């Protein structure tokens, strides 16, 4: 099927923190909350690695309007269930002060295997991300899209960065979740693969050498799903608001469509090394919107704001074709004006001097537009 005829369906997964409303600490109470989830929505909610986390997944959506409805409904359900159980829900990549050593791992075979193999990395893995699936039925095309899209993830990471605090400290990073995540041996930017056979050979070698049990243990920031005909993007922190999640989802869906059209017309692109990509992604995680990124087509540094405008310009035809340009471009420019999640968290801390106030702010923002205002 020609690239421009693909439906580009969307699925979004968000991981949330469970918050004790008295201490504002992480609370290992996912099982209590799950008992209050409406039965009609239960299949869309599940455990994550830690008992202080809860994950939602949207149904397959056809466009951003459906994604917004699905995310709003998901947050409403989880927030309502948490409130009934006596807890709150917060959407941020890290908790500002709760210690990883105080958390309890979910008793699940996969997590036990991870803990056995990766030890301390698993124990410190108290982070929350957002995973976005974009449908693509042709695996060779999906790989070509991934090769091209990997060049453009740093501006999206800078826009969505939402984890500046860790263990009571300002880390100096806008997305410290990324730094924790990238320590895993098969996380970070995906390698360039010339063909689907090359990609599959790499995957099979990793499995054959018992480096990973199966392909679901590939944790690259873009990966081809083995379970669904999708391209999965795993580069961003969980977004604080639904609006920001819609912004990121719209950008990624348009990026997939644009890269597919470029592949169809054999538009040349640089086969940038993973080493260079690591540096570019690191800049986005470290400095967010305040630093410089790299134009990988010209190999020159430029302010993050310019890199984001460059990305918007490239994606404009795809966004217009889906009637999403006005919404997505407005959300991007609002973020550039008011700051990403990390900047807004820091502003609260600078104004109050209290990390508990930062947690309160995240809880309020998580519920913005999806539930009645929450008071802790």
Tokens of 337: 């004006």
Within a domain: 181? yes
Angle, helix 341-352 to helix 355-366, in steps of 10 degrees? 140
Within a domain: 373? no
Within a domain: 30? yes
**Which residue(s) pair with 260 in the sheet?**
none
How far are the Cα atoms of 18, 161, 346 from residue 226, in angstroms, in the given order? 30, 28, 39
Which domain range does residue 214 map to? 3-366
User: What's the pLDDT score for residue 373?
Assistant: 43
Tokens of 94: 């890290």
Q: Considering its fold, how many domains does the chain have in total?
A: 1
Within a domain: 372? no
Residues of the chain with pLDDT below 70 are 1-5, 371-376
Q: How far apart are CA 160 and CA 244, in angstroms?
A: 7
User: What's the pLDDT score for residue 371?
Assistant: 65
Strands 165-166 and 169-170, bridge-based pairing: antiparallel
**CATH of residue 310:** 3.30.590.20
What are the helix (H) ranges across 228-303? 242-264, 274-287
Q: How far apart are CA 161 and CA 238, in angstroms?
A: 8
With H, G, I as helix, E, B as strand and everything else as coil, classify residue 225. coil
CA quadruple 234, 235, 237, 241: dihedral positive or negative?
Answer: negative
User: What's the pLDDT score for residue 375?
Assistant: 45
Within a domain: 374? no
User: What's the pLDDT score for residue 291?
Assistant: 94
Within a domain: 376? no
Within a domain: 292? yes
Tokens of 221: 């920031």
CB 290 within 8 A of CB 131: no
User: What's the pLDDT score for residue 3?
Assistant: 58
Within a domain: 170? yes
User: What's the pLDDT score for residue 225?
Assistant: 83
Tokens of 244: 């920001």
CA neighbours closer than 13 Å in the CB half-sphere of residue 251: 30
CB 13 within 8 A of CB 47: no
């Amino acid at each position: 099927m020609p690239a421009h005829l693909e439906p580009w369906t969307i699925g979004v997964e968000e991981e949330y923190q469970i918050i004790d409303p008295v201490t504002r600490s992480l609370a290992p109470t996912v099982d209590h909350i799950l008992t209050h989830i409406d039965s009609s929505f239960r299949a869309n909610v599940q455990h994550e690695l830690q008992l202080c986390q809860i994950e939602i997944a949207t149904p397959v959506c056809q466009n951003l309007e459906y994604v917004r409805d699905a995310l709003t409904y998901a947050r409403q359900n989880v927030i309502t269930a948490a409130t009934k159980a006596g807890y709150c829900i917060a959407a941020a990549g890290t908790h500002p002060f709760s210690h990883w050593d105080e958390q309890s791992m979910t008793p699940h075979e996969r997590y036990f295997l991870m803990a056995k193999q990766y030890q301390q990395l698993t124990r410190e893995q108290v982070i929350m991300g957002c995973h976005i699936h974009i449908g693509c039925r042709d695996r060779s095309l999906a790989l070509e899209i991934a090769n091209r899209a990997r060049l453009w993830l740093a501006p999206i990471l800078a826009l969505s960065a939402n984890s500046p605090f860790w263990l009571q400290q300002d880390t100096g990073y806008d997305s410290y979740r990324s730094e924790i995540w990238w320590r895993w041996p098969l996380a970070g930017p995906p390698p360039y693969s010339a063909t689907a056979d090359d990609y599959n050979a790499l995957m099979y070698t990793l499995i054959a050498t018992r480096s990973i049990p199966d392909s679901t243990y590939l944790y690259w920031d873009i990966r081809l799903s083995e379970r669904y005909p999708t391209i999965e993007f795993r580069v961003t922190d969980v977004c604080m608001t639904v609006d920001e999640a819609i912004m990121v989802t719209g950008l990624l869906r348009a990026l997939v469509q644009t890269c597919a059209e470029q592949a169809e017309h054999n538009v040349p692109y640089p086969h940038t090394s993973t080493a260079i990509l690591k540096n570019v992604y690191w800049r986005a995680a470290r400095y967010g919107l305040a630093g410089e990124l790299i134009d990988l087509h010209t190999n020159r540094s430029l302010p993050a704001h310019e890199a984001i405008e460059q990305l918007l310009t490239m994606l404009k035809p795809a966004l217009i074709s889906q009637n999403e340009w006005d919404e997505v471009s407005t959300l991007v420019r609002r973020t550039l004006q008011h700051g990403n999640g990390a900047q807004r968290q820091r502003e609260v801390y600078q104004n109050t001097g209290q990390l508990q106030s930062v947690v309160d702010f995240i809880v309020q923002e998580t519920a913005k537009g999806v539930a009645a205002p929450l008071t802790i």
